[in-house]
Every structure is written in structure tokens, then in C-alpha cells.
Amino acid sequence: MSERRPRLFRRKRREKNLDLRAELWNIPNFLTYFRVAMIPVVVYLLYRCEPGADPTANDFSYRVYSFVATVIFGVAAATDFFDGWVARNFDMSTTVGKFMDPLADKLIVLACLVMMVHLNRVPAWFVILLLSRELSIISLRAIASGEGLTVNVAQAGKWKTAFQLCGLVGVLVHYEYEIDYGFVSTTINFNRTGMLLLAGAMLFSIISAIQYFHRFALAASSSVDEC
């Protein structure tokens, strides 16, 4: 006859489950889930656009799809700032959030980049390089975490993110628009502007990758010396 488990054990397990449930559905994580949920919406809107469309063309429906997709992407990107701000200032940082937050960022950016290749707005080789860099850094972080190493994020990586998000907004809008500043007006080719910003993101991504690998090597050698 098997012994009954102590009541204290069952109570601790129940408390642990409640804590996990609270972590899963706190405000920062909910914002992260929202960001993930917006990915298929953005992809659907972009899929309705015409591949290889001329930025100067007056395709009203395609312009609307591109613009709405850009707005949703912008809102999703803004939640990345708010969920981090809430987590830091209200002590809501969780293990789930630390895993899901960067994953959600990568998923929505990569989904948009893949769709940009489909729409012939960004060359495939460009996206392949960015994807290779992201996968390399993710793998390196996993190794560092498994070995208990702390590798600080390079400043160039933050610039890469800023240029990448702004560049994505440009290529998502894609079309030319006349911007009136009141005293002067000008026509902006958003695709061209976005590609220039993405080129800057590529430069910073290469620099930050080199810095990250260098810091990982230093952290690993210091760990070996301590042993």
C-alpha cells in the first residue's frame, strides 16, 4: 500500500502552480503575447500586396494594406518598450518573460523580412545575412547561459535594433508619399529610405556580432582561468 503524500507537499505544489499562472499572465507577458498574435495579421496584410510593385504607382488598395501593416507593426514594436518598462518598474520580471520577449521580437522582425523578400522589396541575400547573424547570436547566448557566463549586450546591437526597426517601417510603407511640413513639401520614397536604414542595421549587426563573440571569448577564458 503506497503512502499518502504529505499535505504540505501538495500545498507547495499548488502554490507553485499559482505562481507560474500569475507569471504567465502578468501585464508584461500579456503584451508579449499580443506582439506574437499580431504576426499573422501583419503577414496576411502584406500577402495581399502586389509583389514587385513600383513605389511610384497609385495602387490605392495596396497602399492601404501596406500602411495598415506598418501601423500594426509599429504598435507591436511599441509594446516591446512598454512591457520592459512595466517589468522593470513594477517588479514583474519573470523567467517566462525573459525567454518570450526577445523571441517575440525576433519572430515579428523575421516574419516581416521574409515577406519583404516575397514582395521583392528587400533582396534575399540581405535577409539571409541578417538571419544568419541572429541565429549565431542566439546560439552563442544559449551556450553562454548553459555555461553560466554573463555576456553584456554590445552598444552596437542596440543601434542595430533601432536602425532595423526604422528601416522595416520604411520598406513596409514602400510607396512614395508627399510630405508637407507647412513651409516646404517633399516627396519621400519610403522603400529607398528604408533600405538605407537597413543597410545601417547590417553594418551595426556585423560590428555587434564581432563584439559579442569577442566578449564571449573573454568571458570563457576568464572562467577557465578561475577553474
Domain extents in the chain: 1-121, 122-227
Compute the CA torsion angle 87, 88, 93, 99 (nearest 10 deg).
80
Residue 56: DSSP 8-state: T
CB atoms within 10 A of CB 132: 12
Tens of pLDDT, residue by residue over 82-92, are 888 888 887 77
pTM of the model: 0.82
Tens of pLDDT, residue by residue over 12-60, are 555 555 466 667 778 888 889 999 999 999 999 999 999 999 999 999 9
pLDDT score, position 4: 56
What value does the mean pLDDT take over residues 204-217? 87
pLDDT score, position 189: 95
Q: How confident is the model at residue 116 (pLDDT cuts 50, 70, 90)?
A: very high
Q: How confident is the model at residue 138 (pLDDT cuts 50, 70, 90)?
A: confident
**Percent over 90 (pLDDT), the chain:** 44
Q: Which of 4-13, 22-31, 210-219 has the lowest mean pLDDT?
A: 4-13
pLDDT score, position 134: 84
What value does the mean pLDDT take over residues 62-77? 95
* CB neighbour list of residue 119: distance below 8 Å, 6 or more residues apart: 46, 49, 50, 51, 52, 53, 174
Q: pLDDT at residue 153 above 70?
A: no
Calpha distance 80→29 (Å, rounded): 10
Which is more confidently placed, 126 or 139?
A: 126
Calpha distance 51→13 (Å, rounded): 54
Q: What is the mean pLDDT of the chain?
A: 84
pLDDT score, position 1: 46
Which is more confidently placed, 31 or 218?
A: 31
